[in-house]
Structure 1
Amino acid sequence: MSGTSETTFGRRLRAATAAHGPLCAGIDPHRTLVESWGLSYDLEGLTRFTETCVEAFAGHVGIVKPQSAFFEVFGSAGVAVLERATRALQEAGTLVLVDAKRGDIGSTMAAYAEAFLGKDAVAPGDAVTLSPYLGFESLRPALDLAAQTGRGVFVLALTSNPEGRSVQHARLRDTSVAESIVRSAAAENAAAGERGELGSVGLVVGATVGTAVQELQLDLAAVNGPLLAPGVGAQGGTSDDLRRVFGDALPNVLPASSREVLSAGPDVSALRDRARSTSQAMAGLLR
């Protein structure tokens, strides 16, 4: 079920991970993966790949993260595949985090917010990823609309790509850019914390950022929001990495895995079993 003003994304996420574990399973239909399943890299292959993932994950995984770009590459027909998948997952009770990484200013940001979070959007997910590098407050239209519609946002904070350091590690007087984003997210979640609930403004923090959290003195536990951790599995992130990066914030971590889980396809049962076993393993670690 998509978000409403009566229920927050944070509440629904807590319920979903309690029922199915913390794994955020990716749907990343890029050429190499699609072809590794014996499918053609075209609209038909995209559709079959996506429908297989939906059949495997719907009702069995707490939250699923389709990467919007891999659908957009096929134009409006590809976006329609994403929209159908979003509806099907939500109807089965699985939350959908659309990985779109949108970020802009003014009326353009407001339009992105309406497209991904609005009550009249065609097929909105339960949450969307956002880029704050035009300034955290440039995201205000999305932050406010998500709060109104009961949806969530995940803001890029500390990513594992080497290029990110030049921006995220940069300092503004005595505060790094990454720290300013972490503090801003914590402020957005303050009211939820006062109610003893998980906030709906999450962050994206790579599982393989090493000691950067300590070096930049980021208080991730104080965010009181979900922490999406890409990089687990095929990208090299280990259980030790998660402990090192997230520390006391481990209970709020959503380990994201795409390639490692999807490598079990195209068999639906094998794909579902891989997602379940990965989620169980992650749940044991995060406890």
Structure 2
Amino acid sequence: MSPMEPFGARLRRAMDERGPLCVGIDPHASLLAEWGLTDDVAGLERFSRTVVEAVADRVAALKPQSAFFERFGSRGVAVLERTVEEARAAGALVIMDAKRGDIGSTMAAYAESFLRKDAPLFSDALTVSPYLGYGSLRPAVDLARESGAGLFVLALTSNPEGAEVQHAVRPDGRTVGATVLAHLAEENAGQSPLGSFGAVVGATLGDLSSYDLQVGGPLLAPGIGAQGATPADLPRVFGAAVRNVVPSVSRGVLRHGPDVVALRDATERFVEEIRGATAAG
């Protein structure tokens, strides 16, 4: 199997060509109902295929939330496999939002599920949790590097509860979140035009100037839309790192479904707003 171009390089090109937007695929029960769909595997598949049809050929990335597929058991996972395959075939990078985190052989097995090139759920990148210690992610880091995939590591998340861990101060005076960012900068050292190991940093967090967000890789930024952040907030939150930000929008786009044209129009509006806000970055 031929080597794949590193995720960071592929993401940089996709962001430049299609705009820096990631659309989440979050088929939770209330959204299925809003679309007039049944809360079952048939509704799940209709929802997912509609999102892929509407936007996969025009956004940099799609981010399926695996939990909303897993809740339907093996048939839901089969829908997730098809969603990943169809999204990638249409040219979107797929960021699997699974937030896996464990140690040793278990972490290695999670990595193989999503980052091994011949795996049914192979994705361009995977969200992971470092809160069993950053070193616990090493199997995922190594396999991602080998397969040309990437990781997005939870660093400074948009949920308020995250602060009790991420803002905790270590004996060396650095916060836990800052330590995660420093590890990512080491992983990306020497990579151009963009490293493959990114951080999840919430767009709702306000002034982050006390953190060094220049990690050499992408910053996946949830919180735009339903959580209250806007594209105009991005330069203030991310400062000099704003050009490497991949804002993630879910409900702000998905609430316009199931109409394909409306989904596309909403996506294009977000792309233009984000481009305008980050152009000076």
What runs of 5+ residues in structure 2 fail to find an aligned partner? Answer: none
Distance in 1 separating the partners of 2:226 and 2:24? 12
Question: What pairs up with 1:40-119 in 2 under 5 angstroms?
Answer: 40-119=38-117
Structure 1 stretch 233-242 or stretch 54-63: which is displaced more? 233-242
The one-letter code sitting in structure 1 at the alignment partner of 2:181 is V
Report the Cα offset of residue 241 of structure 1.
2.9
1:200 aligns with 2:196: yes
Runs of 4+ displaced beyond 4 Å? none
Q: Aligned match of 2:272 in 280, 283, 286?
A: 280
The one-letter code sitting in structure 1 at the alignment partner of 2:212 is D
Report the Cα offset of residue 239 of structure 1.
3.5
Distance in 2 separating the partners of 1:183 and 1:5? 28
Count of residues in correspondence between the two structures:
278
Name the residue aligned to 1:218. 211
Distance in 2 separating the partners of 1:101 and 1:135? 14
Q: Secondary structure at the match of 1:110?
A: helix
Name the residue aligned to 2:234. 242
Contact 2:224–2:248 (8 Å) recurs in 1: yes
Distance in 2 separating the partners of 1:277 and 1:239? 11
- TM-score norm. by structure 2 comes to 0.96
- Identical-pair percentage: 57
Contact 2:232–2:277 (8 Å) recurs in 1: no
Distance in 1 separating the partners of 2:105 and 2:224? 36
Q: Deviations over 1:99-134 (max 9, x none)?
A: 000000000000001001012311311001000000
Name the residue aligned to 1:7. 5
Contact 2:231–2:273 (8 Å) recurs in 1: no
Distance in 2 separating the partners of 1:122 and 1:26? 20
Q: Deviations over 1:226-281 (max 9, x none)?
A: 00110001110023432222000000001110001001110111111211221121
Contact 2:232–2:274 (8 Å) recurs in 1: no
Distance in 1 separating the partners of 2:121 and 2:223? 27
CA RMSD of aligned residues (A): 1.3
The one-letter code sitting in structure 2 at the alignment partner of 1:209 is L
What runs of 5+ residues in structure 1 fail to find an aligned partner? Answer: none
The one-letter code sitting in structure 2 at the alignment partner of 1:228 is L
The one-letter code sitting in structure 2 at the alignment partner of 1:168 is Q
- TM-score norm. by structure 1 comes to 0.94
Name the residue aligned to 1:150. 148
